[in-house]
Amino acid sequence: MERPWASPTALPCYDSEMPMYLVVIRRSGPEWRRGRPLEEQSGWAGHAEFMDGLVESGFLVLGGPLTDEECVVHAVQAGSERAVRETLARDPWSATHLVISTIEPWTIRLDGRRTSR
């Protein structure tokens, strides 16, 4: 019996050479005002401009808040955890509105965006 799913390389959504990212979880810092929308937080314009620049440069691949509005997750392309910390330290919200909780390597093995539908 032929089982194409038994061989991951036979599937179009599986790629063993997919890039590795670093996943960053940032938590609310001391100046974050719970219950206020992002756009109403102090220093929003500077933070938004900084983050848009990270997207344009290719550093930030995916990002956004979780439903609890207390955590933000970013998938970034960077050479090291140190590079991530140094880059995010330049964010106007660094240490005030957002504090890095964890940085973990993430190797993408499945990517449904790559399949033809």
Task: Tell which wins on pLDDT, 37 or 55.
Answer: 55
Asked if pLDDT for residue 113 goes beyond 90, the answer is: no
Return the CATH number of the domain spanning residue range 16-109. Answer: 3.30.70.1060
Residue 28: is it exposed, middle or buried by C-beta count within 10 angstroms (0-12/13-18/19+)? buried
Contact in structure between 13 and 112 (CB atoms under 8 Å): yes
Using one digit for the tens of pLDDT, what is the confidence trace for 5-33? 344 444 444 444 556 799 999 999 999 99
C-alpha torsion 104→49→90→28, nearest 10: -60
Tell me what pLDDT residue 68 has: 84
Q: What's the whole-number mean pLDDT along residues 41-58?
A: 97
Task: Please say whether the beta carbons of 91 and 50 come within 8 A.
Answer: yes
Degrees, nearest 5: CA angle 63-68-72: 25
Q: According to the model, what pLDDT value does residue 108 have? A: 83
